[in-house]
Structure 1
Amino acid sequence: MPTAEECEIFGFGSPMPCLLIKRHSYNQHSVMIEYVEGLFRGDVYRYRLNLAV
């Protein structure tokens, strides 16, 4: 659930479920090179991911 500050940013009158994505990216030596957290409105967001090696 979003914090009070996040509710204000999203325009929520009260907390609503959100989508929290945490992503870790690693280089070819298994060293983490990126960490990202994203919080998205659950009522208006679609998440689609295609991965290829």
Structure 2
Amino acid sequence: MQLSHPQAVTCASRLASVLELRLGAPLTDDEVSYLALHVARLVGEHHAAQ
């Protein structure tokens, strides 16, 4: 993921930080990867729609 979608990974890390503050619990690396996957998918859909 880091090599193919570095911006999605960065965005997911930032989202994870916000979620951790809100939830009061850390996210696992797998959960952050899952977020990155969906961020990359959403960006891909957005670019395809343009």
Relative to the length of structure 1, the TM-score reads: 0.29
More helix by share: 2
Tell me: higher relative CO, structure 1 or 2? Use CA pairs within 8 A at least 6 residues apart: 2
Name whichever structure is richer in strand by fraction: 1
Larger radius of gyration: 1
Q: TM-score, normalised by structure 2?
A: 0.29
